[in-house]
Chain A
């Protein structure tokens, strides 16, 4: 049987566990801040190092962030919240237990809508979102045969988002993760950077035959440091499991690690040998009561999210779906676009400006839209001049825009006047430029007349040069064609 046919006999069942590091000013239970890339052990209080006598203090912001995420995911917010101790020994875990939530997560039973290809949507159920603290890092073999410990990350606040096994393929996992990253970035509760580990994803993967009633044995895959790698790891793992089953083997309950260099997953440990975490209620933290008043306060602080922008841009501003997707990828970009639209009704043109000159400028300088110095009103002014026929697109992008970047606050009309960019519609003047160019290129004129019509562009370019880009292109090309007849 061909391989594809065999794969089709199976249904993959995938759920994700996503850790998002909350970008609060302090750690989950201690007063210092975690910053990625800081020198080892420079952000470690006595509390983080579990010095004798220290106790956890609650970071209220982290709780608010978790509730925010829960509200966006349409979760039930738990009123009476307790933490739990998860006990195990490892050198990167200073207290010998992690403070987490066990039976009663702060948020539960929600869902996230993801965009599939061909404009379809899918609702992915969220089982729970809970709060916990991060561990430190054990660095092996930087000095041969030694392990060094960096406790900077220990105690950093995390939310763990656990989905139901609702994903049917690697692409859906990709889209879900992409959506979650977009949400946490819009909410500004996490920077969403997977390479730096501020967003981490473990995937629980199993496969079952189409006719099966029960899920297959699941395998947990870890260590994927990009959304793309999550997709690749799942793809690999699905095929691996099906191959094992086809060989007549059973799937082991285990944790596997993804190796990005060869695209394979390898076994880390068997689940059976995992320790018993001996969870029990954390007695050093009083129960946290979340009342409706607090929830409503947090609700009112939730900003407009990508989905709302998307439907506004496509419905109200009639942007093509492609444009709206691209612009809403980034909150600042979406906000910038919206600001332009306050001053112009030519929304598509605003979108073109963002996706064209502005984006390429940002890319060239490797900066973010928030660092872009031209205010939206200026872009709207340019659009108006073009729409009024006073300015052509080419001089707007090639001459005006670079000038404006050097002098972002200068009035557009003034620059246009100074640079003499107002579009020339006077046919007498245009005729003069055309005739000059014809005189200077007798051979080309000959060739053109013999049928080499492609030379029209060359003539247009020369005329534009002569007019310093001010000649109205449509009048010019019409005139040129007449004269060359």
Chain B
């Protein structure tokens, strides 16, 4: 199943067609996982020819041979994009996301768009109009979400790398569930232009890959200022893939509250403790700190993200594109029926929640207060990074759970407990494989670093993956 990219495995590859063929076969043989919504096989084969010619003429870009899948939240001109939602059924995008443009310019091949939770809202990929994605390791389990298809596709060799989005853990959590690498860079490091919005001040383009090398390579291509995304960060990105050796002694922090949380699975707790002991034995400094705001991060996250989502999803009104209810009789019923029929239950829940927290008389109590807490947490993390390099956390409280295991939305929300702090603060965070539980399900380890320290984070993560 392991299908490594030519970049990380075999730099002097000759035949791009066979690379693509392997991916297409893996997609075909594992259709049951439901990872892809659309596969652009004919187009990919054609592109492979063009790129092969470039390779033969030594004119190929630096991602030649890389096969990439994109979550169904990324726009790719003249290709469908639906955000996993019925409301965009049949919609063909007229634009290409900046990050997709950048990898195509470096001769990567886009192989298809991947299943996900509707508009990125979910932690199990069960909230998709196209049905759930199954975990490649155990098909009775979920793949995680919301970038479930993207994680499953990488794990099962359907593509080398996937683009996901991470608003509260949607790249890191499925990466942990599927046993791969999932990076959420610093907020604003990668342009959001062309990515369907869920919560604009949290949404981050993320990278799912088999290894750190691929992740770093993609990041250095796609990071950077983009005039089309006003919020994108102006600082020049580094050549992350050039320097992935970690030779320093690191100062590492873990939080008492994360490890003592009663929702945390004992095997995950043990695996992180074991890692901490190894780190100490290698001469790294590991400090236990307190994170008293941990319990506030989920509520504040749900207030702010749903508020933003309630506005971001207003454009899906059936007027200019997408689904329009055939049962409408007037303007109001068109709005109501289109959105009632077009959106899934979780999306509707979040729109309603967001609408209510922004309502007159509630704004200060919810949105205003949540914004304040967000700042407090941000300041707290800033302070930690003044004297420490990394924060270690579990990625998830449990390993991949059964399909339909969470009937209650709050219990589902709890699966984001450890990923949300980095989303709230915007710091870069990565999930890397860290062993398995007794059922053979992967365990993820999360590493966080200070803003824009992706270079250090990637190098340290690679080092961590070698420590056993």
Query: Given A56-B230, A96-B317, A284-B200, are A51 and B310 neighbors across the interface (CB < 8 Å)?
Result: no
Inter-chain contact A283/B308, CB cutoff 8 Å = yes
Tell me if A367 counts as interface (CB < 8 A to partner B).
Answer: no
Residues of A within 8 A of B192 (CB): 55
Which B residue sits closest to A278, measured CB to CB?
B358
Residues of B within 8 A of A58 (CB): 230
Tell me if B365 counts as interface (CB < 8 A to partner A).
Answer: no
Residues of B within 8 A of A57 (CB): 227-228, 230
Tell me if B169 counts as interface (CB < 8 A to partner A).
Answer: no
Contact of B315 among A52, A149, A278 (CB under 8 A): A52
Question: Among the listed stretches A14-22, A84-92, A189-197, A476-484, which one makes contact with chain B, having 4 or more residues with CB under 8 Å of it?
Answer: A84-92
Tell me if B1 counts as interface (CB < 8 A to partner A).
Answer: no
Q: How far, in whole Å, are A285 and B360 apart by their CA atoms in the complex?
A: 23
Q: How far apart are B90's CB and chain A's nearest CB, in angstroms?
A: 13
Residues of A within 8 A of B195 (CB): 53
Encode contact with A along B190-203: 1 for CB under 8 Å, 0 otherwise: 00111111011100
Tell me if A280 counts as interface (CB < 8 A to partner B).
Answer: yes
Q: How far, in whole Å, are A46 and B194 apart by their CA atoms in the complex?
A: 11
Query: Given A49-B320, A54-B193, A283-B200, are A96 and B311 neighbors across the interface (CB < 8 Å)?
Result: yes
Tell me if A214 counts as interface (CB < 8 A to partner B).
Answer: no
A41-95 residues with Cβ-Cβ distance < 8 A to B are: 46, 49-58, 85, 87, 89, 91, 94-95
Inter-chain contact B94/A97, CB cutoff 8 Å = no
Residues of A within 8 A of B279 (CB): none
Tell me if A276 counts as interface (CB < 8 A to partner B).
Answer: yes
Q: How far, in whole Å, are A95 and B312 apart by their CA atoms in the complex?
A: 8
Residues of A within 8 A of B88 (CB): 52
Which B residue sits closest to A288, measured CB to CB?
B230
Residues of B within 8 A of A52 (CB): 75, 81, 83, 88, 91, 93, 196, 315
Residues of B within 8 A of A280 (CB): 307-308, 311, 358, 363, 367
Tell me if B95 counts as interface (CB < 8 A to partner A).
Answer: yes
Residues of A within 8 A of B95 (CB): 46, 51, 53-54
**Total chain A interface residues with beta-carbon distance under 8 A:** 29
Q: How far apart are B288's CB and chain A's nearest CB, in angstroms?
A: 34
Inter-chain contact B193/A55, CB cutoff 8 Å = yes
Q: How far apart are B120's CB and chain A's nearest CB, in angstroms?
A: 12
Q: How far, in whole Å, are A302 and B195 apart by their CA atoms in the complex?
A: 41
Tell me if A286 counts as interface (CB < 8 A to partner B).
Answer: yes
Residues of A within 8 A of B200 (CB): 283-284
Residue of B74, B194, B308, B319 with most chain A CB atoms under a 10 A cut-off: B319
Inter-chain contact A53/B81, CB cutoff 8 Å = yes
Inter-chain contact A53/B193, CB cutoff 8 Å = yes
Encode contact with A along B388-418: 1 for CB under 8 Å, 0 otherwise: 0000000000000000000000000000000
Residues of B within 8 A of A87 (CB): 310-311, 314, 358
Q: How far apart are B165's CB and chain A's nearest CB, in angstroms?
A: 11
A-B contacts counted at CB < 8 A amount to 99
Encode contact with A along B455-468: 1 for CB under 8 Å, 0 otherwise: 00000000000000
Residues of B within 8 A of A96 (CB): 311, 313-315, 317
Q: How far apart are B348's CB and chain A's nearest CB, in angstroms?
A: 15
Residue of A54, A87, A91, A286 with most chain B CB atoms under a 10 A cut-off: A54
Query: Given A276-B359, A283-B200, A283-B201, are A53 and B311 neighbors across the interface (CB < 8 Å)?
Result: no
Residue of A53, A55, A149 with most chain B CB atoms under a 10 A cut-off: A53
Q: How far apart are A244's CB and chain B's nearest CB, in angstroms?
A: 29
Inter-chain contact A95/B320, CB cutoff 8 Å = no
B59-115 residues with Cβ-Cβ distance < 8 A to A are: 74-75, 81, 83, 88, 91, 93-95, 97
Query: Given A57-B228, A278-B359, are A95 and B314 neighbors across the interface (CB < 8 Å)?
Result: yes
Tell me if B15 counts as interface (CB < 8 A to partner A).
Answer: no
Q: How far, in whole Å, are A279 and B360 apart by their CA atoms in the complex?
A: 9
Inter-chain contact B230/A89, CB cutoff 8 Å = no
Inter-chain contact B359/A94, CB cutoff 8 Å = no
Q: How far apart are B6's CB and chain A's nearest CB, in angstroms?
A: 30
Residues of B within 8 A of A53 (CB): 74-75, 81, 93, 95, 97, 193-197
A81-126 residues with Cβ-Cβ distance < 8 A to B are: 85, 87, 89, 91, 94-97
Residues of A within 8 A of B308 (CB): 280, 283
Inter-chain contact A51/B94, CB cutoff 8 Å = yes
Q: How far, in whole Å, are A52 and B317 apart by their CA atoms in the complex?
A: 12
Residues of B within 8 A of A91 (CB): 317, 319, 331
Tell me if B380 counts as interface (CB < 8 A to partner A).
Answer: no
Q: How far apart are B190's CB and chain A's nearest CB, in angstroms?
A: 13
Residues of A within 8 A of B367 (CB): 280
Query: Given A50-B320, A52-B88, A52-B93, are A284 and B314 neighbors across the interface (CB < 8 Å)?
Result: no
Q: How far, in whole Å, are A50 and B321 apart by their CA atoms in the complex?
A: 10
Encode contact with A along B403-437: 1 for CB under 8 Å, 0 otherwise: 00000000000000000000000000000000000
Q: How far, in whole Å, are A54 and B88 apart by their CA atoms in the complex?
A: 15
Q: How far apart are B366's CB and chain A's nearest CB, in angstroms?
A: 11
Residues of B within 8 A of A286 (CB): 230-231
Which B residue sits closest to A89, measured CB to CB?
B335
Encode contact with A along B163-203: 1 for CB under 8 Å, 0 otherwise: 00000000000000000000000000000111111011100
Q: How far apart are B119's CB and chain A's nearest CB, in angstroms?
A: 10
Which A residue sits closest to B336, measured CB to CB?
A89
Inter-chain contact B315/A55, CB cutoff 8 Å = no
Q: How far apart are A27's CB and chain B's nearest CB, in angstroms?
A: 14
Q: How far, in whole Å, are A279 and B93 apart by their CA atoms in the complex?
A: 29
Which B residue sits closest to A87, measured CB to CB?
B311
Query: Given A91-B331, A284-B230, A286-B230, are A51 and B321 neighbors across the interface (CB < 8 Å)?
Result: yes
A279-331 residues with Cβ-Cβ distance < 8 A to B are: 279-280, 283-286
Query: Given A46-B95, A51-B321, A280-B367, are A285 and B315 neighbors across the interface (CB < 8 Å)?
Result: no
Inter-chain contact A94/B307, CB cutoff 8 Å = no
Q: How far, in whole Å, are A87 and B319 apart by their CA atoms in the complex?
A: 17
Q: How far, in whole Å, are A254 and B320 apart by their CA atoms in the complex?
A: 31
Residues of B within 8 A of A85 (CB): 311
Query: Given A53-B95, A280-B307, are A95 and B230 neighbors across the interface (CB < 8 Å)?
Result: no
Contact of B230 among A55, A147, A149, A279 (CB under 8 A): A55
Tell me if B229 counts as interface (CB < 8 A to partner A).
Answer: yes
Q: How far, in whole Å, are A280 and B194 apart by their CA atoms in the complex?
A: 23
Q: How far apart are A137's CB and chain B's nearest CB, in angstroms?
A: 14
Inter-chain contact B355/A278, CB cutoff 8 Å = yes
Which A residue sits closest to B201, measured CB to CB?
A283
Inter-chain contact B320/A94, CB cutoff 8 Å = yes
| Residue positions of A touching B, CB distance < 8 A | 46, 49-58, 85, 87, 89, 91, 94-97, 147, 149, 276, 278-280, 283-286
Enumerate the 3 nearest inter-chain pairs by beta-carbon distance, A residue then B residue, closest first: A96-B314, A283-B200, A278-B358
| Residue positions of B touching A, CB distance < 8 A | 74-75, 81, 83, 88, 91, 93-95, 97, 192-197, 199-201, 227-231, 307-308, 310-311, 313-315, 317, 319-321, 331, 335, 355, 358-360, 363, 367
23 pairs of residues in contact across A and B, judged by CB atoms under 8 Å? A50-B315, A52-B75, A53-B74, A53-B75, A55-B197, A55-B229, A56-B230, A57-B230, A87-B314, A89-B314, A91-B317, A91-B319, A94-B319, A96-B311, A96-B313, A149-B319, A280-B363, A280-B367, A283-B201, A283-B231, A283-B308, A284-B230, A284-B231
6 additional contacts (CB under 8 A) given A49-B320, A54-B193, A87-B310:
A52-B88, A58-B230, A94-B320, A97-B311, A280-B311, A284-B230
